[in-house]
Structure 1
Amino acid sequence: MFIKRQIRNIEVPLSSEITPRALFESRRDFMRHVAVGSIAGGALLETLTQTALAQTPGAQKLAAKANAAYVVMDKQTSFKDASTYNNFYEFGTDKSDPAQNAGTLKTRPWTIAIEGEVKKPLTLDIDALLKLAPLEERIYRLRCVEGWSMVIPWIGYSLSELIKKAEPTGSAKYIEFVTLDDKKQMPGVYERVLQWPYTEGLRLDEANHPLTLLTVGMYGEVLPNQNGAPVRVVVPWKYGFKSAKSIVRIRFLKEQPKTAWNVSAPHEYGFYSNVNPAVDHPRWSQASERRIGEDGFLARKRKTLMFNGYSEVAPLYAGMDLKKFF
């Protein structure tokens, strides 16, 4: 899929992009202690090791064949940016929190339960899930509802492969994803920002679309904890919060499931949440976006594309009012 680059406007950075003062000062204090030798070499090494593990847990390589049918021509976001600027509220609400705090997440052992309106309920461990279908590398855009985007080489296979194994019944109309809810591993769960566990959902035809990726890696390696290890979904034509992370349960349902952000703020976060430049968030425009890695003091913007540029999903919504079903 070839998408022409848009002419970008120039703006000053959003406040969310400025390093929080507390974080800045903690880093400054850390460097001051290092300079005066108040941190022992062993403690310093342990601190740096924990940070590295949070960002690249094991850095295990994944063999995956590139799928040329799913490649955008935009410049890829750097691994550093993609793994240190994240929304994963179970590890904190600041963009830097997940990379700093997600080292507590244990991704082995890990099981995923498939249940509900299916003929063959399954419980798979992560290693069995990895072998369920050939792994592919797909380069997708991911657009956040807050107005920023990335281009990431994901690794996984179409979610439809797993759906076929479960054999949904004729009553199954929706699919729900449930994220791990563990205060011992996820410090952000102590905060009542959302109702835990985090849940998201899709219509079954959306889940079966070839673009919907059951994702186990990125940049040729296993997923970093802060990016949703060990398994997440990526739904590239929807805003990023629809792509549930660290999944432990997949349910097939007759009725539309309640989802975390829709329950928390239904006037701001609709169930469908397709990328639509004509439907603004109540607190900001969705007509343009910032590509992470392309910003600085004079942040450049690009025009937001309908369905994030994935026009092949348009038939899924034929006849629907996408301003009403936002």
Structure 2
Amino acid sequence: MLIRNAPDLKDCDVTDQGLYLARRQFIAGAAGLGLAACGGASPASAAPLKYSPNRMSIDENKTPLDDVTGYNNFYEFGTGKEDPAAYAKMMRSRPWTITVDGLCDRPGSVDIDELIRRFPLEERIYRMRCVEAWSMVIPWVGFPLASLIKSVGPKSSAKYVAFETLRDPRQMPGQRSAVIQWPYREGLRLDEAMNPLTLLAVGLYGQTLPNQNGAPIRLVVPWKYGFKGIKSIVRIRLTDRRPQTSWQMLAPGEYGFYGNVNPAVDHPRWSQAKERRIGEFFRRKTLPFNGYGEQVAHLYRGLDPRKLY
């Protein structure tokens, strides 16, 4: 069911874990918009968030909370699916500062809780499709990335948005190994970042975002594979050049810049035609753009679909 504006592979069917691995501060005057250095923030907690329901949601069964928080890819805490839940408690998500800079008129840094206060929160129930061919349906809480970008005044020369996650091996033990080149990096074209579907999530299931799911703030781009959803963001930079992304740097023949969900384009080592929805027994067909084509297909007109992965 498409949103309106207003599974099926076992883990062993996907790829062996060992083979799969063969994958602050600019502070400026922006007082008018609040992108300035803030004082200490409140400690992290599982407190409820105040938010409004949003019409940009799908009417599908939500994945149980225990699965959403207990089955994750977050290599900063280890390569196993259970590692993030086991080790992410080591990370402090408060205080936390996010820097927004690059090609914009009002660059600066802002405390996460101040950021949350400035942008009204919404609940968005989205499909999430992992490149490994499993999927979930998650009720995120957050605000549109476009709202943040507009607030800093992007320059006409800005064409892309680059993201970086926290780099701190003391808190993130997975960073003590060279699985990827740290910090984790991701990127979007500016028009993708400004699409109404693109979300900066700060919670799920109505609660503050758990550490293992990318606390205190992560990117959610529902028509792309999950590796595009960078977690624990500390920097957002507007640029005129396509940014390098972590998986593309590690395995350019397997992971492209776009990462759009496309059942017709297989990963070099497994099919993307079907997926296993966590909690279901039978595999289901994967939808082009993860079912969001009506909202995003126009972004890629004239481009070779095989190059959008």
The two structures share one fold, judged by TM-score above 0.5? yes
| 2:290 corresponds to | 308
Residue 253 of structure 1 and its aligned partner are, at CA, apart by 0.6
The answer to whether the 8 Å contact 1:132/1:162 transfers is no
CA distance in 2, matches of 1:201, 1:164: 17
Identity %: 58
CA distance in 1, matches of 2:58, 2:149: 26
* Aligned mate of 1:195, from 160, 164, 181: 181
The answer to whether the 8 Å contact 1:145/1:239 transfers is yes
**Correspondences of 1:117-156 after superposition (within 5 Å):** 117-156=103-142
Residue 16 of structure 1 and its aligned partner are, at CA, apart by 7.7
After superposing on structure 2, the runs of 4+ consecutive aligned residues of structure 1 that deviate more than 4 Å are none
The answer to whether the 8 Å contact 2:192/2:299 transfers is yes
CA distance in 2, matches of 1:76, 1:325: 28
Give the unaligned 5+ runs of structure 1. 21-56
Tell me, what secondary structure is at the counterpart of 1:255? coil
| 2:230 corresponds to | 244
Q: Aligned residue pairs: how many?
A: 277
Residue 74 of structure 1 and its aligned partner are, at CA, apart by 1.5
CA distance in 1, matches of 2:106, 2:305: 34
Of structures 1 and 2, the larger Rg is shown by 1
The answer to whether the 8 Å contact 2:2/2:291 transfers is no
CA distance in 1, matches of 2:306, 2:60: 28
CA distance in 2, matches of 1:234, 1:325: 18
Q: Deviations over 1:40-64 (max 9, x none)?
A: xxxxxxxxxxxxxxxxx62210011
Q: Deviations over 1:49-88 (max 9, x none)?
A: xxxxxxxx62210011111x21212210000000000000
CA distance in 1, matches of 2:192, 2:217: 19
* Aligned mate of 1:58, from 31, 45, 49: 45
| 1:254 corresponds to | 240
CA distance in 2, matches of 1:325, 1:230: 29
* Aligned mate of 1:319, from 282, 302, 306: 302
CA distance in 2, matches of 1:58, 1:108: 9
**Correspondences of 1:148-187 after superposition (within 5 Å):** 148-187=134-173
Which protein has the bigger helix share?
1
Q: Deviations over 1:106-140 (max 9, x none)?
A: 01110000011111002010111101211000100
Q: Please tell me the residue identity of whatever aligns with 1:62.
A: L
Q: Mark the CA change 1:108 to 1:321 in structure 2 (over 3 Å): closer, same or farther.
A: same
Normalising to structure 1: TM-score of the pair?
0.82
